[in-house]
Structure 1
Amino acid sequence: MTVLPVFLTGALAVQISAELGFDPAGLGLVVALYFGVSALTSLPVGWLVERFGSRATSRVAVLGVAVAMVVLAAGARSYGALVAILLCSAWCNVMGQLSANLALARSIPAHRLGLSFGIKQAAIPLATLLSGAAVPSVALTVGWRWAYVLAAGLALTTLFVAPRGIATPPRVRADPGERATAALSVIAVASGLAAATATALGIFLVASAVDRGVGPGTAGLVLTMGSVVGLSCRLLHGWFADRRDGGHIAVVAASLGLGAGGMALLAVPGAPALVVGTVLAFGLGWAWPGLLQFAVVRLNPSAPAAATSIVQMGVYAGGFIGPIGFGFLATHAGFSTAWLTCAGTILVAATGMVIGRRMLVVHGRSRRSASAQPSLQR
């Protein structure tokens, strides 16, 4: 629910822009600013989540996003108002994400952690699924404003399933030498590039399909289908991760590489290419975040928050840059050029993941060698 407003805006962009008057570049700008504000609020919101716990902050996040969507429905009478209201809801997404992370870290046993991160990261394709379904069922029948009203009501129902209290485990002392900062920085850049393409996928798929002659209702259903595929693949990634001893980042790189083919197909005219491209792009090109977070936590058990914060900086940066770049390309060079650029970018991201993984392996070997030397001397 807390990530729903931005993706609902993307899915309803055709109807909203017809009334408020903005182009794909304008949509890209508002989404980019949304993730930019998310990045700026991450540290202070993270402190609040740690201070007050997941029970209180998860409820505050849901209430905040419900209010924001009601205000969007009633007060978004111009492009400027839409931007301002949406940006004011960005902190809700950050608080929802971090409260979920805190709940998982404090309550889930290690042998279930992969699946739990897969379930948590399924929130984003679930949000795009609901957004896509809202196009034919609500926006094209009673109007796009009612989609926000219904989403606000749905958000309030999640208060009944929010965390009711998580016990705090003993603190583990962090080992500064354990965190491979250089390797994690490379992975952060790669995740930023991948996130840039993934964000564009969720935001611009409907508008791109409509531009190619697909009806708005059908385009919304294609987005819904892709969201189901992405949600399922995130859960499968987590389930398989709990059954592997390692190689998680290599799996992320392979998924990105195959997902590039889906992005390229979105540049090809015709419904078959749209459907197949959507399945591959969502199922492989956007199913990696939970697995990557799980891998980083497993590789940095004494400092999981510090390690994941490095990677998350890249994800937020990609969420900021991606929509601006895609919107600019779509406006001035066409959607086909924008999708082909995404395909090339995600291949670079896959290469970065491979390089970062090799650096992590070298770092792990050097640490084991350093720890073994004192033992030999003794």
Structure 2
Amino acid sequence: MAIGAVSVTTASVLPVFLTGALTVQISAELGFDPAGLGLVVAFYFGISALASLPCGWLVERFGASATSRIAVVGVAVALGAIAAFATSYAALVTLLLCCAWCNVLGQLASNLTLAQHVPATRLGLSFGLKQAAIPIATLLSGVAVPGIALTVGWRWAYVIAACLALAALPLTPRGGSTRVRSTATPGERATGALSVIGIAAGLGAAAANALGIFLVAAAVDRGISPGLAGLTLTMGSVVGLTLRLLNGWLADRRAGGHIAVVAGSLVLGAIGLALLAVPGTPALVIGTVLGFGLGWSWPGLLQFAVVRLHPSAPAAATSIVQTGVYGGGFVGPIAFGFIAAHGSFPVAWLVGAVTMLAAGVLMVLGRRMLLAHRAAAAQLAAS
């Protein structure tokens, strides 16, 4: 089940990160600047934010099997359409937006799959594996720059990505015709605390998404060759993948404190983004390692914590947090692209570092609210 969840999530999120990695080649043909890239990615996550809560209901209602397959097929069709029909910036935006709702559906379906089928003692590692899909997607996107885009052309990268998405279809969960109904009442969910945590996650995602989307363009702007910039993104993806797995493995060996670990990762990840503003290859490498390894290693751990606290409606509960994540994905690329286009990449990285630091502070606040909610619920149950 974990392998299927990873495959579905990787396929679902691949289009946006592939577009970010190939932006140098795509923009040369279609004619747009970093602000244009920020806009298309922002629209993608904006649609995702709007779709998150409805998709959470759909996944809970119809089950993980059907929704996983719909997400995978939808992504494959959209990727193929980008390769064939993205002949202008407007066409690229339109087709990429078709991938957004598939991403949401695939993410939440994978959450439900893991919550229903994985033993509690391995749930943390399973969510680490599932969220490793994002660095896997950025890794594949980074490899696509020197391996495909600079040899046979960027459109073939989308063709290959569509084939990879279809390869995930046999790995989707089986026997999922049973409809799933939530037994949770609104009062059982710490909606206020989850909303604050969602805002914190949104700020963290706003800064961290810029790392995966703009790293190659920023490195090229610094004078590094596109091929080496793509390999730098690949290196960061490997580090992020490893740390997400490690976070999951350690979570299964802790009794609690998962959201506190998320807050610490965000604060330390802010240092990595700040280093990306410093000239020189060593700062680029260290900043990439810290940014991916800490600043973008927490989503699986956060979703694991939310699912553990809301086992009766995991897709619905995580959809609240994911709304914040996607909202951050909407605002972040617009802001980063605007700052990079009208100022510079170093200034944009510094703003991202401050944003990620603020995310860590808000995550601590959300954790305190969550603890207060649990204490009040326990007191009510005892009375």
1:350 is matched by which residue type in structure 2? G
Match of 1:119 in 2: 129
- TM (normalized to structure 2)? 0.93
> Which of residues 344, 348, 360 in structure 2 aligns to 1:338?
348
Q: What is the CA–CA distance in structure 2 between the aligned matches of 1:45 and 1:357, rounded to whole Å?
A: 25
The aligned counterpart of 2:324 is 314
Q: Helix, strand or coil for the counterpart of 2:224?
A: coil
Q: Which residue of 1 aligns with 2:36?
A: 26
- Of 94, 102, 115 in structure 2, the residue corresponding to residue 92 of structure 1 is 102
Residues in 1 aligned to 2:135 and 2:214: alpha-carbon distance in whole angstroms = 14
- Measure how far apart 1:71 and its partner are: 1.2
Residue of structure 2 in register with 1:106 after alignment: 116
* CA–CA distance in structure 1, aligned partners of residues 53 and 310 of structure 2: 20
SS state at 1:73 partner: helix
Q: Distance in 2 between matches of 1:104 and 1:299?
A: 14
The change in CA–CA distance for 1:176 and 1:161 in structure 2 (over 3 A counts) is closer
**Aligned mates of 1:175, 1:53 — CA distance in 2:** 19
One of 226, 244, 247 as aligned partner of 1:216: 226
Is 1:226 equivalent to 2:218 in the alignment? no
Contiguous gaps of at least 5 residues in structure 1: none
1:148 corresponds to: 158
Greater displacement, 301-310 / 339-348: 301-310
State the partner residue of 1:189: 199
- CA deviations over 1:195-218 (Å, ceiling 9, x no partner): 101111110000000000010000
The alignment status of 1:261 with 2:271, answered yes or no, reads yes
Cα shift at 1:12: 0.2
239-248 or 48-57: bigger deviation:
48-57
- Distance in 2 between residues matched to 1:167 and 1:88, nearest whole Å: 25
Higher mean displacement: 171-180 or 102-111: 171-180
Compare CA radii of gyration and give the structure with the larger one: 1
Maintained 8 Å contact 2:50/2:323: no
Contact 1:106 1:167 in 2 (8 A): no
Shift of 1:232: 1.0
Task: Give yes or no for the alignment of 1:270 onto 2:280.
Answer: yes
Counterpart Cα distance in 1 of 2:335 and 2:231: 26
Equivalent residue for 1:158? 168
Question: 1:175 and 1:291, CA in 2 relative to 1: closer, same or farther beyond 3 A?
Answer: same
Q: Distance in 2 between matches of 1:93 and 1:313?
A: 12
For residues 50 and 368 of structure 1, what CA distance do their matches in structure 2 show?
26
Q: Distance in 1 between matches of 2:42 and 2:189?
A: 30
Structure 1 residues 95 and 174: CA distance shift in structure 2, 3 A:
closer
Deviation of the 1:31 alpha carbon: 0.3
In structure 2, how many angstroms separate the alpha carbons of the residues matched to 1:294 and 1:145?
36
Output the CA distance in 1 between the equivalents of 2:51 and 2:67: 14
> Aligned pair in 2 of structure 1 residues 244, 76: CA closer, same or farther (>3 Å)?
same
- 1:283: how far off? 0.5
Partner SS, residue 12 of structure 2? coil
User: Could you tell me how far apart the structure 2 residues matched to 1:183 and 1:202 are?
Assistant: 28
Indicate if the aligned counterparts of 1:24 and 1:330 stay in contact, CA closer than 8 A. Answer: yes
Shift in Å, 1:171: 6.5
Partner residue, 2:291: 281
Whether the 8 Å contact between 1:121 and 1:234 is mirrored in structure 2 is: yes
Quick one: which of 356, 364, 369 aligns to 2:379? 369
Equivalent pair of 2:193/2:369 in contact (CA under 8 Å)? yes
TM-score between both structures, scaled by the size of structure 1: 0.94
Q: How many angstroms does 1:11 deviate by?
A: 0.2
Amino acid at match of 1:273: A
* 1:43–1:176 Cα change, 3 Å: closer
User: What CA distance in whole angstroms lies between the structure 2 residues aligned with 1:183 and 1:84?
Assistant: 35
Corresponding residue for residue 63 of structure 1: 73
Q: What residue identity is the alignment partner of 2:84?
A: A
Contact 2:269–2:291 (Cα < 8 Å) also in 1: yes
CA 1:223–1:72 in 2, change beyond 3 Å: closer, same or farther?
same
**1:204 partner letter:** F
Mapping of residues 71-86 of structure 1, within 5 Å: 71-86=81-96
> What is the root-mean-square deviation of aligned Cα atoms in Å?
1.8
Give the conservation status (yes or no) of the 8 Å contact 1:106–1:168. Answer: no
In structure 2, the residue matched to 1:357 is 367
AA aligned opposite 1:34: Y
1:100: Cα distance to partner? Answer: 1.2
Verify the 8 A CA contact 1:238 1:291 in the aligned structure 2.
yes
Which residue among 3, 12, 16 is the counterpart of 1:2? 12
Give the counterpart of 1:136 among 125, 138, 146: 146
Structure 2 residues not aligned, in runs of 5+: 1-10
| Equivalent in 228, 232, 250 of residue 240 of structure 1 | 250
Any conservation in 2 of the 1:174–1:302 contact (CA below 8 Å)? Answer: yes
One-letter code aligned to 2:163: G
Q: How many residues align?
A: 373
